Structure 1
Amino acid sequence: MSKENELLLPRTAVFKLIKDLLPSDVRCANDAKELIVSCCTEFIHLLTSESNDLCTKENKRTICPDHILKALKTLGFNEYVQAVEEVFLKHKQETIDLRKAKAKEPKHLMTQEELARKQQELFAADSYRYQNEAYQYLNEHPSSLEDTNVLLSSARLKQEDEDDYDAEE
């Protein structure tokens, strides 16, 4: 990639902006799209250079939003200052809201080991409950030998499945 292309804005992003901003029945020639990319890149270079100059005059090492707003005014783009301020304030608020939302998220999620242990505890509790239901049923219906055999067989199979699962780990 040439040095010139490294300093250009991503063409695809600019082309998408052009497409989104134009009415659906209007097309933009490829040469015009390339010219817009070049103009946007040049504008950003100009704005950055002027912002850097203002920053340097104030003996600062970081360009701040105020430097950019002053640069817009210095370069004669006063009509854009209010819109840029509004977008910046909106961005700033969204960033604050995002930080607040992240702060509310649970900080300690369970590790894989804790999840596996919890799963085993739930399996054991369910198995115990299932076996108790089977024994309770047997006590209530002692004459139903066929039902008893089915329930015991089912309980044994379930326990064997759990034992096999435990052995795999």
Structure 2
Amino acid sequence: MADDDNEVGLPQKGLNMIIKETVPDLRIANETRDLINQCCVEFIRHLSREAQRISSEDQRKTIYHEHVQKENKN
């Protein structure tokens, strides 16, 4: 990925809260938290690219929720 040099990711505190709510009785290693964060970023990038493609097909310069929902259904 071209953006590997930039530190992009979800805020650690928010990610920890999501993990704790999802699996409250398990401990998660720091490396695992980092991997989960990377997966979330990659998912958001994919969703954004596809929503942008759909918005372009609709001849729009702004991504609207309909574009994200269309991508999510595919």
TM above 0.5, yes or no, is: yes
- 1:48 matched residue in structure 2: 48
- Work out the CA distance in 1 between the residues paired with 2:5 and 2:31: 21
Q: Where has structure 1 moved over 2 Å in runs of 4 or more?
A: none
Q: Percent identity?
A: 32
Letter in structure 1 aligned against 2:51:
S
TM-score by length of 2: 0.83
Letter in structure 1 aligned against 2:29:
A
- Work out the CA distance in 2 between the residues paired with 1:66 and 1:26: 37
Unaligned runs of 5+ in 2: none
- Work out the CA distance in 2 between the residues paired with 1:67 and 1:12: 29
Quote the RMSD (CA, aligned, Å).
1.6
Q: Which structure has the larger Rg over C-alpha atoms?
A: 1
Letter in structure 2 aligned against 1:12:
K
- 1:32 matched residue in structure 2: 32
TM-score by length of 1: 0.39
* SS of match in other structure, 2:6: helix
Residue 72 in structure 1 maps to residue 72 in structure 2: yes
- Work out the CA distance in 1 between the residues paired with 2:12 and 2:57: 34
Counting only pairs closer than 5 Å after superposition, residues 1-169 of structure 1 correspond to structure 2 as: 3-5=5-7, 7-23=8-24, 25-74=25-74
Per-residue Cα deviation, 1:85-127 (whole angstroms, up to 9, x for no partner): xxxxxxxxxxxxxxxxxxxxxxxxxxxxxxxxxxxxxxxxxxx
Structure 1 residue 3: deviation in Å?
4.5
* SS of match in other structure, 2:9: coil
Structure 1 residue 11: deviation in Å?
2.1
Letter in structure 2 aligned against 1:41:
V
Structure 1 residue 20: deviation in Å?
2.1
